[in-house]
Amino acid sequence: MGFSALETNLQQLVNGLMLGSFYALVALGYSMVYGIIKLLNFAHGDVYMVGAFACLATFSVVGGFASGWLGIALSMLSAMIFCGILGYLAQRLAYRPLFSAPRLSMLITAVGVSLVIYNAVMGITNSQYMFFEHSVDNSAGLAFGNITITYIQIVILAISAILMVALTRFIGGTMWGKAMRAISLDKDTCRLMGVNVNKVIGLTFFIGSALAAVAGSMACVYYGNLHYFMGYIIGMKAFTAAVVGGIGSIPGAMLGGLLLGLLEAFGTQYLGSAWKDVFAFGLLIIMLIFKPNGLLGKTEIERM
Protein backbone atom coordinates (compact mmCIF):
# COMPACT_ATOMS: atom_id res chain seq x y z
CA MET A 1 0.00 0.00 0.00
CA GLY A 2 2.82 2.41 0.89
CA PHE A 3 4.62 1.71 -2.38
CA SER A 4 1.43 2.35 -4.32
CA ALA A 5 1.04 5.74 -2.60
CA LEU A 6 4.65 6.55 -3.46
CA GLU A 7 4.06 5.71 -7.10
CA THR A 8 0.96 7.88 -7.13
CA ASN A 9 2.85 10.82 -5.70
CA LEU A 10 5.71 10.40 -8.18
CA GLN A 11 3.25 10.27 -11.07
CA GLN A 12 1.58 13.46 -9.83
CA LEU A 13 5.03 15.02 -9.55
CA VAL A 14 5.57 14.40 -13.26
CA ASN A 15 2.09 15.72 -14.09
CA GLY A 16 2.64 18.79 -11.93
CA LEU A 17 5.95 19.60 -13.59
CA MET A 18 4.29 19.25 -16.99
CA LEU A 19 1.50 21.64 -16.09
CA GLY A 20 3.90 23.96 -14.30
CA SER A 21 6.14 24.21 -17.36
CA PHE A 22 3.19 25.60 -19.35
CA TYR A 23 2.42 28.14 -16.63
CA ALA A 24 6.09 29.10 -16.26
CA LEU A 25 6.66 29.77 -19.97
CA VAL A 26 3.59 32.01 -20.16
CA ALA A 27 4.39 33.67 -16.82
CA LEU A 28 7.82 34.63 -18.15
CA GLY A 29 6.16 36.88 -20.71
CA TYR A 30 4.09 38.58 -18.02
CA SER A 31 7.15 39.18 -15.86
CA MET A 32 9.38 40.39 -18.69
CA VAL A 33 6.85 42.95 -19.91
CA TYR A 34 5.90 44.11 -16.43
CA GLY A 35 9.53 44.35 -15.40
CA ILE A 36 10.44 46.65 -18.28
CA ILE A 37 7.37 48.88 -18.75
CA LYS A 38 5.18 48.02 -15.71
CA LEU A 39 2.35 46.73 -17.91
CA LEU A 40 0.11 43.80 -17.04
CA ASN A 41 -0.27 42.49 -20.57
CA PHE A 42 -3.60 40.70 -20.33
CA ALA A 43 -3.39 39.86 -24.04
CA HIS A 44 -0.57 37.43 -23.28
CA GLY A 45 -2.87 34.47 -22.71
CA ASP A 46 -4.37 35.05 -26.14
CA VAL A 47 -0.88 35.00 -27.67
CA TYR A 48 -0.51 31.52 -26.13
CA MET A 49 -3.74 30.53 -27.86
CA VAL A 50 -2.60 31.97 -31.19
CA GLY A 51 0.64 30.00 -30.82
CA ALA A 52 -1.35 26.77 -30.60
CA PHE A 53 -3.33 27.62 -33.74
CA ALA A 54 -0.19 28.72 -35.59
CA CYS A 55 1.41 25.39 -34.72
CA LEU A 56 -1.65 23.53 -36.02
CA ALA A 57 -1.79 25.59 -39.22
CA THR A 58 1.89 24.98 -39.98
CA PHE A 59 1.60 21.27 -39.20
CA SER A 60 -1.31 20.97 -41.62
CA VAL A 61 1.13 22.10 -44.34
CA VAL A 62 4.30 20.24 -43.35
CA GLY A 63 2.56 17.17 -41.92
CA GLY A 64 2.28 15.63 -45.36
CA PHE A 65 6.03 14.99 -45.49
CA ALA A 66 6.96 15.31 -41.79
CA SER A 67 4.21 14.10 -39.48
CA GLY A 68 6.53 13.14 -36.61
CA TRP A 69 8.98 15.05 -34.46
CA LEU A 70 10.40 16.99 -37.41
CA GLY A 71 6.98 18.32 -38.34
CA ILE A 72 6.26 19.22 -34.73
CA ALA A 73 9.61 21.04 -34.41
CA LEU A 74 9.02 23.00 -37.63
CA SER A 75 5.51 23.89 -36.53
CA MET A 76 6.69 25.05 -33.11
CA LEU A 77 9.42 27.19 -34.67
CA SER A 78 6.91 28.74 -37.05
CA ALA A 79 4.54 29.48 -34.15
CA MET A 80 7.37 31.15 -32.23
CA ILE A 81 8.21 33.45 -35.13
CA PHE A 82 4.57 34.26 -35.86
CA CYS A 83 3.69 35.05 -32.25
CA GLY A 84 6.93 36.96 -31.75
CA ILE A 85 5.95 39.22 -34.63
CA LEU A 86 2.39 39.46 -33.26
CA GLY A 87 3.70 40.53 -29.87
CA TYR A 88 6.04 43.06 -31.44
CA LEU A 89 3.25 44.57 -33.56
CA ALA A 90 0.93 44.79 -30.55
CA GLN A 91 3.67 46.66 -28.71
CA ARG A 92 4.45 48.90 -31.68
CA LEU A 93 0.89 49.81 -32.62
CA ALA A 94 -1.06 49.66 -29.37
CA TYR A 95 1.34 50.13 -26.45
CA ARG A 96 4.23 52.32 -27.62
CA PRO A 97 2.08 55.43 -28.21
CA LEU A 98 0.98 55.15 -24.57
CA PHE A 99 4.38 54.71 -22.88
CA SER A 100 4.19 58.20 -21.42
CA ALA A 101 0.48 57.93 -20.57
CA PRO A 102 -0.90 56.81 -17.18
CA ARG A 103 -0.60 53.07 -16.55
CA LEU A 104 -4.36 52.66 -16.54
CA SER A 105 -4.46 53.69 -20.21
CA MET A 106 -2.10 50.88 -21.21
CA LEU A 107 -3.97 48.41 -19.00
CA ILE A 108 -7.25 49.19 -20.75
CA THR A 109 -5.49 48.95 -24.10
CA ALA A 110 -4.14 45.51 -23.15
CA VAL A 111 -7.70 44.34 -22.47
CA GLY A 112 -8.70 45.73 -25.87
CA VAL A 113 -5.84 43.92 -27.64
CA SER A 114 -6.90 40.72 -25.88
CA LEU A 115 -10.47 41.08 -27.11
CA VAL A 116 -9.33 41.81 -30.66
CA ILE A 117 -7.18 38.67 -30.80
CA TYR A 118 -9.78 36.54 -29.03
CA ASN A 119 -12.65 37.54 -31.31
CA ALA A 120 -10.51 37.37 -34.46
CA VAL A 121 -9.59 33.74 -33.77
CA MET A 122 -13.18 32.97 -32.78
CA GLY A 123 -14.36 34.27 -36.15
CA ILE A 124 -11.67 32.50 -38.15
CA THR A 125 -12.33 29.13 -36.47
CA ASN A 126 -16.11 29.60 -36.38
CA SER A 127 -15.96 28.83 -32.64
CA GLN A 128 -15.12 25.19 -33.35
CA TYR A 129 -12.69 22.87 -31.58
CA MET A 130 -9.65 21.94 -33.64
CA PHE A 131 -7.66 18.71 -33.33
CA PHE A 132 -3.94 18.10 -33.70
CA GLU A 133 -3.12 14.67 -35.14
CA HIS A 134 0.47 13.48 -35.47
CA SER A 135 2.28 10.19 -35.88
CA VAL A 136 4.08 10.27 -32.52
CA ASP A 137 2.79 7.61 -30.14
CA ASN A 138 1.27 9.40 -27.14
CA SER A 139 1.57 6.32 -24.91
CA ALA A 140 5.16 5.35 -25.73
CA GLY A 141 7.66 6.16 -23.02
CA LEU A 142 9.57 4.94 -20.00
CA ALA A 143 7.86 2.84 -17.35
CA PHE A 144 9.09 2.53 -13.76
CA GLY A 145 6.70 0.16 -12.10
CA ASN A 146 3.29 1.81 -12.41
CA ILE A 147 4.84 5.19 -13.17
CA THR A 148 4.86 6.15 -16.84
CA ILE A 149 6.72 9.07 -18.38
CA THR A 150 5.93 9.38 -22.07
CA TYR A 151 8.47 10.55 -24.61
CA ILE A 152 6.27 13.57 -25.34
CA GLN A 153 6.41 14.54 -21.66
CA ILE A 154 10.18 14.10 -21.61
CA VAL A 155 10.61 16.28 -24.71
CA ILE A 156 8.27 18.98 -23.37
CA LEU A 157 10.02 19.11 -20.00
CA ALA A 158 13.42 19.21 -21.72
CA ILE A 159 12.38 22.04 -24.05
CA SER A 160 10.96 24.01 -21.13
CA ALA A 161 14.11 23.58 -19.06
CA ILE A 162 16.38 24.53 -21.97
CA LEU A 163 14.37 27.67 -22.74
CA MET A 164 14.29 28.77 -19.11
CA VAL A 165 18.05 28.32 -18.72
CA ALA A 166 18.70 30.04 -22.05
CA LEU A 167 16.52 33.01 -21.09
CA THR A 168 18.26 33.31 -17.73
CA ARG A 169 21.65 33.32 -19.44
CA PHE A 170 20.41 35.82 -22.04
CA ILE A 171 19.08 38.25 -19.43
CA GLY A 172 22.11 37.94 -17.19
CA GLY A 173 24.98 37.65 -19.65
CA THR A 174 24.29 39.56 -22.86
CA MET A 175 24.25 43.26 -23.73
CA TRP A 176 20.58 43.04 -24.71
CA GLY A 177 19.75 41.44 -21.38
CA LYS A 178 21.72 44.08 -19.49
CA ALA A 179 19.86 46.76 -21.44
CA MET A 180 16.54 45.19 -20.42
CA ARG A 181 17.56 45.21 -16.76
CA ALA A 182 18.77 48.79 -17.00
CA ILE A 183 15.57 50.00 -18.68
CA SER A 184 13.50 48.34 -15.96
CA LEU A 185 15.31 50.58 -13.46
CA ASP A 186 15.38 53.91 -15.30
CA LYS A 187 14.33 54.39 -18.93
CA ASP A 188 15.23 58.07 -19.08
CA THR A 189 18.81 57.51 -17.94
CA CYS A 190 19.15 54.70 -20.47
CA ARG A 191 18.08 57.04 -23.25
CA LEU A 192 20.68 59.60 -22.14
CA MET A 193 23.32 56.88 -22.30
CA GLY A 194 22.43 56.00 -25.89
CA VAL A 195 20.32 52.89 -25.33
CA ASN A 196 17.59 52.42 -27.95
CA VAL A 197 14.81 51.91 -25.42
CA ASN A 198 12.05 51.25 -27.95
CA LYS A 199 14.08 48.57 -29.72
CA VAL A 200 14.82 46.79 -26.43
CA ILE A 201 11.16 46.93 -25.40
CA GLY A 202 10.18 45.52 -28.81
CA LEU A 203 12.65 42.66 -28.34
CA THR A 204 11.18 41.98 -24.90
CA PHE A 205 7.70 41.61 -26.38
CA PHE A 206 9.05 39.40 -29.17
CA ILE A 207 10.80 37.02 -26.76
CA GLY A 208 7.91 36.87 -24.31
CA SER A 209 5.41 36.16 -27.09
CA ALA A 210 7.66 33.50 -28.61
CA LEU A 211 7.85 31.71 -25.25
CA ALA A 212 4.07 31.82 -24.96
CA ALA A 213 3.90 30.30 -28.46
CA VAL A 214 6.14 27.44 -27.32
CA ALA A 215 3.76 26.74 -24.44
CA GLY A 216 0.76 26.87 -26.78
CA SER A 217 2.44 24.56 -29.27
CA MET A 218 3.37 22.08 -26.56
CA ALA A 219 -0.18 22.10 -25.19
CA CYS A 220 -1.47 21.55 -28.73
CA VAL A 221 0.79 18.51 -29.16
CA TYR A 222 0.22 17.13 -25.66
CA TYR A 223 -3.56 17.47 -25.35
CA GLY A 224 -4.38 17.10 -29.04
CA ASN A 225 -7.15 19.72 -29.17
CA LEU A 226 -7.41 23.48 -29.10
CA HIS A 227 -10.07 26.16 -29.07
CA TYR A 228 -10.33 29.92 -29.20
CA PHE A 229 -10.89 30.43 -25.45
CA MET A 230 -8.03 28.19 -24.28
CA GLY A 231 -5.85 31.20 -23.55
CA TYR A 232 -8.12 32.78 -20.94
CA ILE A 233 -7.72 30.41 -18.01
CA ILE A 234 -4.02 29.71 -18.57
CA GLY A 235 -3.44 33.44 -18.92
CA MET A 236 -5.04 34.01 -15.52
CA LYS A 237 -3.07 31.16 -13.94
CA ALA A 238 0.19 32.26 -15.51
CA PHE A 239 -0.47 35.72 -14.11
CA THR A 240 -1.04 34.06 -10.73
CA ALA A 241 2.27 32.21 -11.12
CA ALA A 242 4.06 35.47 -11.95
CA VAL A 243 2.60 37.16 -8.86
CA VAL A 244 3.43 34.20 -6.61
CA GLY A 245 7.03 34.15 -7.81
CA GLY A 246 7.35 37.92 -7.82
CA ILE A 247 6.14 39.69 -10.94
CA GLY A 248 9.04 41.27 -12.77
CA SER A 249 11.40 38.51 -11.62
CA ILE A 250 12.46 35.95 -14.27
CA PRO A 251 13.43 33.23 -11.74
CA GLY A 252 10.27 34.08 -9.82
CA ALA A 253 8.08 33.41 -12.85
CA MET A 254 9.72 30.02 -13.33
CA LEU A 255 9.38 29.13 -9.65
CA GLY A 256 5.79 30.35 -9.44
CA GLY A 257 4.75 28.38 -12.52
CA LEU A 258 6.27 25.14 -11.28
CA LEU A 259 4.84 25.57 -7.77
CA LEU A 260 1.38 26.28 -9.13
CA GLY A 261 1.50 23.24 -11.40
CA LEU A 262 2.57 20.98 -8.54
CA LEU A 263 -0.10 22.43 -6.25
CA GLU A 264 -2.82 21.76 -8.79
CA ALA A 265 -1.59 18.24 -9.54
CA PHE A 266 -1.40 17.13 -5.90
CA GLY A 267 -4.52 19.04 -4.91
CA THR A 268 -6.51 17.41 -7.70
CA GLN A 269 -5.23 14.00 -6.63
CA TYR A 270 -6.31 14.34 -3.00
CA LEU A 271 -9.30 16.69 -3.13
CA GLY A 272 -10.66 16.29 -6.67
CA SER A 273 -10.50 18.17 -9.95
CA ALA A 274 -13.38 20.45 -8.98
CA TRP A 275 -10.97 22.26 -6.63
CA LYS A 276 -8.25 22.81 -9.22
CA ASP A 277 -8.97 26.48 -9.90
CA VAL A 278 -9.64 27.13 -6.22
CA PHE A 279 -6.04 26.17 -5.43
CA ALA A 280 -4.63 28.55 -8.02
CA PHE A 281 -6.64 31.65 -7.20
CA GLY A 282 -6.71 30.91 -3.49
CA LEU A 283 -2.92 30.94 -3.58
CA LEU A 284 -3.04 34.28 -5.42
CA ILE A 285 -5.22 35.83 -2.70
CA ILE A 286 -3.00 34.48 0.07
CA MET A 287 0.16 35.81 -1.60
CA LEU A 288 -1.36 39.25 -2.17
CA ILE A 289 -2.37 39.44 1.50
CA PHE A 290 0.76 38.14 3.19
CA LYS A 291 3.56 38.62 0.64
CA PRO A 292 2.42 40.96 -2.14
CA ASN A 293 5.92 41.18 -3.66
CA GLY A 294 6.00 37.43 -4.26
CA LEU A 295 8.56 34.82 -3.27
CA LEU A 296 11.46 36.37 -5.22
CA GLY A 297 10.09 39.85 -5.87
CA LYS A 298 11.63 43.04 -4.60
CA THR A 299 10.01 46.08 -3.02
CA GLU A 300 9.98 48.96 -5.50
CA ILE A 301 10.24 52.63 -4.68
CA GLU A 302 8.18 54.87 -6.96
CA ARG A 303 10.04 57.94 -8.24
CA MET A 304 8.01 61.12 -8.23
Give tens-digit pLDDT for 237-264: 999 999 999 888 889 999 999 999 999 8
- Tell how far CA 153 is from the center of its chain: 17
Q: Which residues of the chain have pLDDT under 70?
A: 1-3, 299-304
Q: Is the pTM of this model over 0.85?
A: yes
Start-end of H helices in 63-196: 69-90, 103-125, 151-173, 175-185, 187-192
Q: Where are the beta strands (DSSP E) in 199-287?
A: 225-226
Close Cβ partners of 56 (under 8 Å, ≥ 6 residues apart): 75, 130, 132, 220, 226
Beta bridge partners of 130: 226
Q: What is the share, in percent, of the chain residues with pLDDT greater than 70?
A: 97
Q: Which amino acid is at 303?
A: R
The answer for 249, left when phi > 0, alpha when psi is -120 to 50, beta otherwise, is: beta
What pLDDT shows up at residue 49? 96
What pLDDT shows up at residue 299? 63
What pLDDT shows up at residue 2? 45
